Structure 1
């Protein structure tokens, strides 16, 4: 027999088991796997897996192997038979090269640019959130620095920052921007100019996910613009802005084209970033084993913020952050 449905009762009726039926033990109910779960077409992952192995795994293994060899211009023709030196290249890179200084310069400039790009990108996204005449044109102009190739950006800014260039003429300053202490801030300014639209794009995507009903509820509660920004908009922007910060930091840390074009090689000591140092050791000094060791160290350096971000948002376990 079935129990009658009352007011507030669920849509489905509750079935009362007949007298004498043994009780069902409490505990988790195990569901049988369906055919879709039991026979998943994992073979469809083979093409992507093969490309990943060829493009990423094999070059990485070769780079690690070369970093353990004393490979230079004299042994490059028979690099498999180059002397095996184990971790000597890593020790030399840490002790006797400019690697620690380059790591400090790279991390510092990447962090400064990423931190400065966040408020710029979020402010631009908030300014263009409401509809107004010409909003599409303004959004397109905001994206111009991001879509320009790094070679073009470096060439144009190299002309602007010349001693007799536009920068000194507009600011009323004399001196060098491409050499000396100002070179670090020149790199920061140029990289910031070209990378902040990434934060802007992700912030715009976060703002578009805000439900208009939430805005209306906040307005009915008498919330001002600061309360709306802090309690309504900020929770939606937290994830996209964090992702934009991590991507911007990693992009700046690995950027080679812009410092190479802007300052050339050998670059000034204040802007001797890690990718340029690795290039110089490999293609100018022909220390291929040492440069491979530097490349592996830079890979480990890049993996640290990626691991921290994945742990923060728990993407590696598929769990939502509580």
Structure 2
């Protein structure tokens, strides 16, 4: 009878893991050392140009600083919040805030579609596109002083605009720079000077849209307006929103254009916040009151900027926020 032998079967053992270093898994990945000292020159310049003047203006807003106390302004009488109370009650600040807000919002709302349409006209390839793009930039590259001087000459009672309206039979005796017409004159001139900035921001966003998106939209049978609404506008939302914010803040704080266009004292309809601050500080010599009005202006301009930064952070992905 044959002898049987049992063959022992062994299960395969899992491979031994590498030795674990205590605390290695919990340690965050090491970031590269960043040479933050390279920011020192720019940071110092920002402190000297922005932070120091702001602190001085904030301190001046609590002083009774005028032409009599300017020479010893450090020892000027401390009045606390009296300048802010006077600014809100008797200096016309609330009217200037309303005029500046209406002017900045209207100008941006009118200039935005003009800039977007201009960007769409030069987004595709055609002969002479570079020349057209350069022509579109003419209002943007002209200094505000030149723009204001040019339009002040054109809009005089005996200027080219009234001559043209008279030749067309629409009346050539309008007063564009005084009275109730001055507000809409300022809006129209600033729209002419600012739409090119929206055009630049919109064009920068259009250049990032891939051709595949346009081809997919064409295959779906979308029309021109649907393509603009569902393809173009969502893709340029980021740069366009930034451009609208910067344009609105620039209009709100615009001083050179209305100052050159209307002079001082400006008509009541265009007594914008920068004009009011200038007149209070350098014509009435109420430097403390003008500083208080400047601080209020800074607070007002900070609100939309903070709202935009917060919305941009919420829209960003977690990886972009961590970076």
Distance 1:138 1:227 in 2: 26
Q: Aligned to 1:190, what secondary structure does the other structure show?
A: helix
Conserved 8 A contact 1:310-1:316: no
Equivalent position of 1:58 in the other structure: 52
Is the Cα–Cα contact under 8 Å of residues 113 and 191 in structure 1 kept in the other structure? yes
Tell which structure's C-alpha radius of gyration is larger. Answer: 2
How far apart are 1:92 and its partner, in Å? 0.3
Structure 1 residues not aligned, in runs of 5+? 1-15
SS at match of 1:76: coil
Q: Given the two structures, how large is their TM-score scaled by the length of structure 1? A: 0.88
Matches within 5 A, 1:113-132: 113-132=107-126
What TM-score do the two structures reach when normalised by structure 2? 0.87
Secondary structure of 2:73's aligned partner: helix
Per-residue Cα deviation, 1:72-113 (whole angstroms, up to 9, x for no partner): 001111100000000100000000111110010001000000
**Is 1:214 the equivalent of 2:210?**
no
> Equivalent of 2:68, from 64, 74, 83?
74
Q: How far apart are residue 223 of structure 1 and its match?
A: 2.2
How far did 1:43 drift?
A: 2.1
Provide the rounded CA distance (Å) in 2 between the counterparts of 1:222 and 1:30. Answer: 53
TM-superposed CA distance for 1:304, in Å, is 1.0
- Residue 77 of structure 1 aligns to a residue whose secondary structure is coil
Output aligned runs, 1:124-273, within 5 Å.
Answer: 124-171=118-165, 172-173=170-171, 174-273=173-272
Measure, in 2, the Cα distance between the counterparts of 1:206 and 1:177: 37
1:17 CA drift (Å):
8.5
Of 92, 101, 104, 1:98 maps to 92
| Alignment size in residue pairs | 300
Q: Structure 2: where are the runs of 5+ without partners?
A: 1-11
| Bigger Cα displacement from structure 2, 65-74 vs 160-169 | 160-169
Residue 215 of structure 1 contacts residue 232 of structure 1 at CA under 8 Å; is this kept in 2? yes
Distance 1:316 1:42 in 2: 28
User: 2 CA distance for matches of 1:191 and 1:315?
Assistant: 33
State the 1:150 CA deviation.
Answer: 0.6
